[in-house]
Structure 1
Amino acid sequence: MPKLKTKSGAKKRFKVTATGKVMSAQRGKRHGMIKRTKKQIRQLRGTRAIFKTDGDNIKKYFLPNA
């Protein structure tokens, strides 16, 4: 059976931590910043851990070698 390839889009969007959590950038910062408060924009910086069940699916189907 051939090796499973990692999806190249997932490589750019997700990162697996040492404990196995899947991290990704936060949603809601692509457009429409003018209507958001400064506090909202500030809090959307950085990354956030994805829910465990979603993270398990990402690791299984998109990041098999992570």
Structure 2
Amino acid sequence: MPKLKTRRAAAKRFRATGSGKIRRRKAFKNHLLEHKNAKRRRRLTSLTLVNERDAENVRMMLPYL
């Protein structure tokens, strides 16, 4: 069997936890940060889990995750 290719864009955005769940960054923390208050910017810094409905698609993009 040939090897499966990893989607490089997905590999840069997602990481697996020890239990096998997938982590991602939160959106809205790239630019236009002046009008967002510090509490909101701080909350957006933390990582979160990919929704279980989306996790299947992410796993297909990352076959060796």
Structure 1 residue runs without a partner (length 5+) = none
Match of 1:55 in 2: 55
Offset of 1:46 from its aligned partner? 2.4
- TM score, norm. by length of structure 1: 0.86
Offset of 1:40 from its aligned partner? 0.3
- TM score, norm. by length of structure 2: 0.87
Q: 1:41 & 1:34 partners in 2: Cα distance?
A: 10
Offset of 1:34 from its aligned partner? 1.1
Q: CA RMSD in A?
A: 1.1
Q: 1:57 & 1:12 partners in 2: Cα distance?
A: 15
Matched residue count: 65
Q: 1:3 & 1:53 partners in 2: Cα distance?
A: 26
Q: 1:53 & 1:4 partners in 2: Cα distance?
A: 22
Q: Which amino acid aligns with 2:38?
A: K
- For 1:17-65, what per-residue CA distance to the aligned partner results, in whole angstroms no more than 9, with x for missing partners? 1212110111111111111111101111121111011012101x21011
Structure 2 residue runs without a partner (length 5+) = none
Match of 1:65 in 2: 64
